[in-house]
Structure 1
Amino acid sequence: MALRSTWVVLMLVLSLRGQVHTGKIIGGHPAVPHSRPYMVLLEMRMWNDETKFCAGFLISNEFVVTAAHCQARITYVHLGLHKLIPPPTRKSIPVRRSIPHKEFNNNTGYNDLMLLQLMEKVNFTENVRPIHLANRSDHLPQRCIVSGWGFTEEYQELASELMEVNLTLAKDTSCPEPHAFFSLGEIGPSHGDSGGPLVCEGDVAYGVVSRGNQSCPPYKYSVFIKIPDYLDWIVSHLTQK
């Protein structure tokens, strides 16, 4: 597939403010180039032909995990990215099938999880590799990080390179949600960086970015769908023929 038109659209988006469905990495810093080889950028063609973007992460040579609210009419997965400008000549693969969780609730954000099956299998390289999924449901992970190309607080526009931020997860909040992790405070994703992984304790994906800067007095917090609680659902689709 030719990438020229795709990246013309992306560069156009980079010049706009407040019109991209990705979110912010608040208080973050640039990632070491290609240190997150599982990260992917989703270019989404909506039903009204608008172009939006989400994040996602590679878990096999055929499947990507993202948030269910990142559904679109057509989705292209961009692999092996770090900087978005100048337009890279990286691999882009269309999505064959979107599999949102059947109990996803768009109003509450519960079960905000989706699998994307790619049109072709990925050849792994140094810059394109899957990430392991956590399987401990009774464990509050430590040393966590979130990455994405979402808006930054300072510039309010899509980041030109992959950003990341360190987070500490809360043991509880006054607004509990089933099957989710939370991080308190202003630092972290906002309005998404949707679909990106919550990576903890090395390179292990414990969560999926769902929503950011949710207000629940006296706290503001970010919500991450808890991967261990959905591992059976994920594996069941990966193993289907």
Structure 2
Amino acid sequence: MAVQKTWVVLVLGLSLRSQVQTGEIIGGHEAVPHSRPYMVLLELKMWQNKTRYCDGFLVSDEFVMTAAHCQARIYYVHVGLHKFINNRTLKGIEVSRAIPHDDFSNTRGFNDLMLLQLSKKVKFTDHVRPIPLARRSDLLPQRCLVSGWGHSKEKPGMASALREVNVTLANDSSCDEPHAYFSLGIIGPSHGDSGGPLVCENEVAYGVVSRGDKPCHSFHYKVFIKIPDYLAWIEGHLRKK
């Protein structure tokens, strides 16, 4: 990301594949069904028999990318999903190996990304397909959006259908977090959207949703881990299998 002494806010008013109304909401509006075939819902079985949810996205027929803070005892990956109803959603694919980044800091949130290797390969269809990853670039990405089943202002709890929203990105060199993009304001990912992709320019994944409220001077940002800075780590694990 180019270093600047002043921050520049870019209002991104267009969606990628379909027009999305942003408005004063957090989680966005319902996406066109199956228009984001890379999206997966992660069902996380925790150590006290609790269930949590995160988002993720397919990067191959065998690997999902998500946030490292979405670690769990057992994972179930739901692919090709649009509607989500707790007790009626079919059982997902189990994960055979979770690979959080070696330098992930749970206290500071740095390096917050993780690969999940599926117990079986998925078959690609119109509803199930990986998304390409952004290569290294010093330019701030344009025309970005986020998708997920996280909370919205309309009603509490996880959304019953995939939602999406455009985001406003900011280039602020005064924030001390390396390898991250930032979005400014309340619009964007909310609770339950962790691990989803920041998708920009020609439907390429540029970032991973990390945290929803990073204070930086008088501003509060939502944080996305910058995928181009981690390509060597990602591709190294994809080759190992």
Instruction: Name the TM-score, length of structure 1 as normaliser.
Output: 0.85
Give runs of aligned pairs for residues 81-160 of structure 1, distance below 5 A. Answer: 81-85=81-85, 87-89=88-90, 92-160=92-160
Hey, what does 1:58 align to over in structure 2?
58
Preserved CA contact (<8 Å) 1:192 1:212: no
Aligned AA (1:126): D
Hey, what does 2:236 align to over in structure 1?
236
2:173 & 2:93 partners in 1: Cα distance? 39
Question: Over the residues paired in the alignment, what is the CA RMSD in angstroms?
Answer: 1.6
1:164 & 1:150 partners in 2: Cα distance? 10
- Aligned in 2, Cα 1:126/1:88: closer, same or farther, shift over 3 Å? farther
Aligned AA (1:181): Y
- Report the 3-state secondary structure (helix = DSSP H, G, I; strand = E; otherwise coil) of the residue aligned with 1:232: helix
- Report the 3-state secondary structure (helix = DSSP H, G, I; strand = E; otherwise coil) of the residue aligned with 2:230: helix
Hey, what does 1:209 align to over in structure 2?
209
25-34 vs 196-205, which deviates more? Answer: 25-34
2:221 maps to 1:221: yes
- Aligned in 2, Cα 1:27/1:173: closer, same or farther, shift over 3 Å? farther
**Residue deviations 1:83-118 (CA, integer Å, cap 9, x gap):** 1149355x7210000000000000000000100000
1:210 & 1:27 partners in 2: Cα distance? 15
**Residue deviations 1:114-168 (CA, integer Å, cap 9, x gap):** 0000000010011000000000331210000000000002312210100101012
1:29 & 1:200 partners in 2: Cα distance? 18
Aligned AA (1:162): L
96-105 vs 148-157, which deviates more? Answer: 148-157
Preserved CA contact (<8 Å) 2:64 2:117: yes
Hey, what does 2:197 align to over in structure 1?
197
Q: How far is the alpha carbon of 1:75 from its aligned partner?
A: 0.2
Hey, what does 1:179 align to over in structure 2?
179
Hey, what does 2:4 align to over in structure 1?
none
1:111 & 1:124 partners in 2: Cα distance? 29
Instruction: Mark the runs of 5 or more structure 1 residues left unpaired by the alignment.
Output: 1-24
Structure 1 residue runs of 4 or more that deviate by more than 6 Å after TM superposition: none
Hey, what does 2:32 align to over in structure 1?
32
2:166 & 2:172 partners in 1: Cα distance? 19
**Residue deviations 1:172-212 (CA, integer Å, cap 9, x gap):** 15423100000111111134510000000121000000001
Instruction: Name the TM-score, length of structure 2 as normaliser.
Output: 0.85
- Aligned in 2, Cα 1:228/1:192: closer, same or farther, shift over 3 Å? farther
- Report the 3-state secondary structure (helix = DSSP H, G, I; strand = E; otherwise coil) of the residue aligned with 2:170: coil
**Residue deviations 1:1-24 (CA, integer Å, cap 9, x gap):** xxxxxxxxxxxxxxxxxxxxxxxx
